């Protein structure tokens, strides 16, 4: 089932969600067809007022709290369907305007924020990336550790290829840079810079996690796109190409195993509150018992996985909380969230067990907002403040937390919801004396 296929004309690849299903015939068609204009239902019934000024969020964060680190890049305004422009009304919900409204809301929020622009990869990206992929194919992932030409790109490719199949990344490169394809499936479009932007999102997650591990008193929020939590080891889907949060988690475990931290990382928690099940993240971590994955999501809903709360995977590290459409904070969500935090923090159903997590990565999606055009849960922006507050409260003060943007498509609400998330997290940190500097 596709998010959008009921709204778009057929291009002959219905029900195909994997790059591997694309035959040469399909690829030729994709390479020659004009970009298909997606007109999802919500855009046809109301204008997206992304240029409307957002409400200013009043800061309730004590001045003693260090603040939050925001990772961003102008590159996250690239990657969009061919023929579209920032001045146009976006025709696809996963659009660059998302990061623009979030950054603007954060600037207006008066929250104590520290802005970190992630530098671009060196030019020429396509050739450099192709070279790295060939090195991995010929000599294995470890060969990239010695690459000095663009170490940041080498690290992003190596970390991504440690989680995804190498063919998955190489195929995106081929489709974008060799064949000029315009989409992977009915939902997931491609443009000239898709792989570069996706790898930048991976790099931002890696660098935010590095910094958070160095100074756990800090909180980080990565304002990146495209999202990642639907990308499985082998498949790009649901607007996602690389499973950034899973990649960051595996990279931390690898570094820990090499003795790069003062004490080993024994357990990482991934909390996914995007309204869609994080099927990609789950696929990428289900064989790693040191990563505990907890997802709250609407079900049934795209991608139609994560519906069985009693299926915990071969390593018993998966906890899914499917919720029916219409659920709001006071009608089921708060209760499920409390249970989800219990599982995240200890793997048990108890709220009085001290968290055993050394790091928490949050797949922060904002499409559970009541006003989101793609789904049916009914959260308010202020609910995200409470969710972040409760999360931080359940963790030890020394636990680093990194939020990475996933979905969220109401351009009038996601900025405020992200601001509320950071505000709630900082308020909770303020109540943890050890975390105050």
The residue ranges that bind Zn ion (CB under 5 A) are 274, 276, 365, 367, 407
Residue closest to Zn ion when measured from CB atoms: 407
The nearest distance, CB 186 to Zn ion, in angstroms, is: 16
User: Can the peptide bond before residue 303 be classed as cis, meaning omega within 30 degrees of 0?
Assistant: yes
What would the DSSP string read from start to end of 381-414?
Answer: HHHHHHHHHHHHHHS-TT--EEEEE-----TTTH
- Compare residues 76 and 121 and give the one whose CB is closer to Zn ion: 76
Enter the tokens of residue 61: 């964060």
Classify strands 219-222 and 68-72 as parallel, antiparallel or unpaired.
Answer: parallel
Q: State the DSSP code for 55.
A: P
Looking at the Cβ atoms of 65 and 374, the one nearer to Zn ion is: 374
Q: Is 230 a catalytic residue?
A: yes
- Rounded Cα distance, 393 and 271, in Å: 14
Which residue's CB is nearer to Zn ion, number 219 or number 296? Answer: 296
**Least distance (Å) from Zn ion to the CB of residue 367?**
4
Closest by CA to 237, choosing from 247, 245, 246, 227, is 227
- CB of 365: closest distance to Zn ion in angstroms? 5
For the CB of residue 137, give the shortest distance to Zn ion in the complex, in Å. Answer: 33
CA dihedral sign, ordered 380, 381, 382, 387: positive
Q: Which is nearer to Zn ion, 322 or 407 (CB)?
A: 407
Q: What CA–CA distance (Å, rounded) separates 283 from 307?
A: 15
Catalytic residue, from 164, 173, 230, 297: name it.
230
Q: How far is the CB of 278 from Zn ion (least distance, A)?
A: 9
CB 72 within 8 A of CB 432: no
Over the Cα atoms of the chain, what is R_g? 20
Closest CB to Zn ion among residues 111, 377: 377
Torsion of the alpha carbons at 269, 374, 3 and 34, rounded to the nearest 10: -120
The residues assigned a catalytic role are 230
């Amino acid at each position: 089932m596709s998010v959008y296929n009921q709204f778009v004309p057929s291009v002959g690849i219905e029900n195909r969600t994997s790059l591997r299903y694309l035959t040469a015939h399909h690829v030729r068609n994709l390479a020659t067809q004009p970009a298909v204009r997606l007109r999802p239902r919500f855009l046809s019934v109301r204008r997206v007022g992304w240029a409307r000024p957002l409400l200013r969020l009043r800061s309730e964060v004590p001045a003693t709290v260090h603040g939050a680190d925001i990772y961003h890049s102008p590159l996250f305004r690239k990657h969009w369907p061919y023929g579209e422009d920032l001045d146009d009304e976006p025709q696809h919900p996963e659009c660059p305007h998302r990061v623009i409204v979030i950054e603007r809301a954060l600037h207006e929020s008066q929250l104590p924020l520290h802005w970190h622009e992630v530098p671009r990869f060196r030019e020429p990206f396509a050739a450099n990336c192709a070279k790295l992929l060939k090195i991995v194919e010929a000599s294995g992932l470890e060969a990239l550790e010695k690459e000095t030409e663009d170490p940041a790109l080498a690290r992003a490719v190596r970390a991504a290829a440690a989680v995804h199949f190498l063919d998955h990344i190489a195929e995106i490169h081929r489709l974008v840079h060799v064949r000029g394809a315009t989409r992977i499936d009915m939902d997931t479009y491609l443009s000239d810079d898709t792989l570069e932007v996706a790898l930048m999102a991976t790099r931002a997650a890696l660098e935010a996690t590095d910094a958070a591990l160095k100074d756990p008193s800090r909180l980080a929020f990565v304002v990146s796109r495209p999202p990642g939590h639907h990308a499985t080891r082998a498949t790009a889907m649901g607007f996602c190409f690389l499973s950034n949060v899973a990649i960051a988690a595996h990279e931390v475990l690898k570094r820990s195993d090499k003795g790069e931290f003062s004490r080993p990382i024994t357990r990482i928690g991934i909390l996914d509150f995007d309204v869609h099940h994080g099927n990609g993240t789950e696929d990428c971590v289900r064989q790693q018992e040191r990563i505990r994955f907890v997802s709250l999501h609407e079900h049934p809903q795209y991608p139609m996985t994560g519906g069985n709360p009693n299926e915990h995977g071969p390593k018993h590290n998966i906890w899914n909380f499917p919720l029916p459409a219409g659920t709001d904070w006071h009608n089921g969500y708060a209760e499920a969230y409390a249970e989800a935090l219990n599982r995240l923090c200890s793997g048990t159903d108890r709220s009085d067990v001290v968290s055993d997590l050394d790091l928490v990565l949050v797949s922060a999606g904002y499409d559970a907002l009541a006003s989101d055009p793609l789904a049916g849960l009914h959260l308010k922006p202020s609910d995200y403040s409470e969710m972040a507050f409760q999360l931080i409260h359940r963790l030890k003060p020394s636990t680093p937390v990194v939020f990475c943007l996933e979905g969220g498509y109401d351009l009038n609400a996601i900025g405020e919801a992200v601001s509320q998330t950071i505000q709630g997290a900082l308020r909770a940190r303020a109540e943890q004396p050890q975390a105050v500097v």
